Structure 1
Amino acid sequence: MASSAPSTGAAAAARGARRTERLLNLVIALSATRRWLTKEQIRTAVPQYADCATTVAFERMFERDKEDLRELGVPLETGGEDPLFGDEAGYRIDRDAYALPEINFTPAELAVLSLASRVWQQASLAGPATRALVKLRSLGVEPDETSLVGLEPRVRTSEPAFDPLYAATRDRAPVSFTYRRAGGEAATRRVEPWAIVSWHGRWYLVGHDRDRDAPRVFRLSRVSSAVKRIGRPGSYEVPADLDPREVVAGTVGERTTRRARLLVRTGSALAVRRRAVSVRPVPARAAERGPDAAAGTGDGSGEGTGEDVVELDVADVEVSADELAGYGDAVLVLDPPELREAVLRRLRGAAGAGTGAAGTGGGAA
């Protein structure tokens, strides 16, 4: 019986995913038109209903789905074009009651929305994240994609354990995996996943270690085997007062930082600006004397040049260089020299392994 638990849990998760997709398609079909849709029209419009072998099976499934939508607060209406003539009952969603109000976001909020969609670009939420952005665009909200190009390499994750651990966290399903500790020792761990957190460029799992009967933190890059489910979804509870970032910070600890200075084009690199210690516009008269002079006199006086001196704390030079290099000529690294050189090294590689032009480009990042 124990060996069948993981497969049973996976089957339940798959059924839940199919049900969610079916309900989403039903909502789209019923809200895409002002007309009343008959059951037969709905059966044709929603692909998942085609799997029903008989009309009776379809009607049972449709009745359950209607109740589910109403429980979720979706304003599902029943009616017909002309009840006086006994037309077949139809269904639709009251779009005025269901529609979102006018939405306005600040540039920083749009940056977060776009970043969130990129976090899941290669994970299990890729479809829903993309659809969410499509819905926002349909309302006239346009996320700032260009300002986040430099973040894309950092929010993708190449750890094979990420997807199965994220799914187990979502489903509250206990798992087992082989974990290699910092000293090189590997052992099988049985864990109830609570949350997955990104901390200083690395992904960590926070959960309850069953063998040690205590909360533990696991770096995903040290998971050296396939992740296996060892229990049913929903078989444990996540502590209500859990702050996963605080747990990771207390376990992994803070990293030593150094101050970096950047010359940033106004309106660009929003994610960098959000983490900045200070942002100062560059006066035109200072810019005429070169980047170093501009960086030293950015006091906000005089006519601006369209550039700002941005100061922020950097914990890992190589990780920060990965991010800053993606902004191209919108960001110029002034110091520290190690960060400037790390960014230049990436740009030279992208330009063709150290061409003369890349070597004299001034360190744009």
Structure 2
Amino acid sequence: MTTTPATSSSPPGGAAAAARGARRTERLLNLVIALSATRRWLTKEQIRTAVPQYADCATTVAFERMFERDKEDLRELGVPLDTGGEDPLFEDEAGYRIDREAYALPEIRFTPGELAVLSLASRVWQQASLAGPATRALVKLRSLGVEPDESSLIGVEPRVRTAEPAFDPLYAATRDKTPVSFTYRRAGGEPATRHVEPWAIVSWHGRWYLVGHDRDRADSRVFRLSRVASAVKRIGRAGSYDVPAGIDPREIVAGSIGPVRPPREARLLVTEGSGLALRRRARSVEVGAGESVGEDVVVVEVSDVEVSADEIAGYGADVLVLEPQDLRDAVVRRLRGAAGA
């Protein structure tokens, strides 16, 4: 998978239709967010205030016509829209909400490749223009005295994230064609500052890589995102360089990385009752095999030393790496950095 700034074009007569379709999609999404973000019934007036696009309706009649069409559209899409009121014994004004139990998805499992696609899609979505109006809808609900339950919106906006904090700033720099600098830690080498013109971000065998022009070496280079050891800084203006035509970032990564090493076994000393995520995916757990009481030896597979070190370091003193040595060194480096901070 490669992430590069996307461009699109519409036929001469299709621009207006495309714009109308985008506004309708945005309006329906905001309506779903408003009706999913609370357990209370929302009246028409509350919905009109919460959904930004309804404010464009010149009259109440126009709003009600649009709202009726939107309700039918949601039901045709399979969204369980209910009508009711706070007190069934009194004829209160009708309210609306989405049956969250009927709308919720069952547990879904994904392959690593599918998770990579979802991760990219969720990140791009968060950068889209839908994010602003959606946020304003929640703010308006609060102003109406309706406290949103944002945990219900997980099914509306997926947030599957990669472990590399460098992903977001490097993706943005790639999109904006902005040169950056960062500290990069090569395998077996000392960290060094790199100055790069980002071209593309590529997912290759479950890892993320940046492809770009290395100004210090005056040549194209590949950087694994998990080895970026500092914040990413912009060092120039947007649009200050061009991406060479005809390049294939995936071919560049494949030629630079070579064959992918198979996963290795790592032996961990884990305190009893801790490291539950490690235990769930362990190849084996030797209860009480440690030198001290209450210590178990847990064997897991490790594909990326740096990513695994991030996870293991989070357990602090409850997890100790016995082997391999490079994983142990990576965890120790993180713990020393935390102690120094």
Q: TM-score, normalised by structure 1?
A: 0.47
Q: TM-score, normalised by structure 2?
A: 0.49
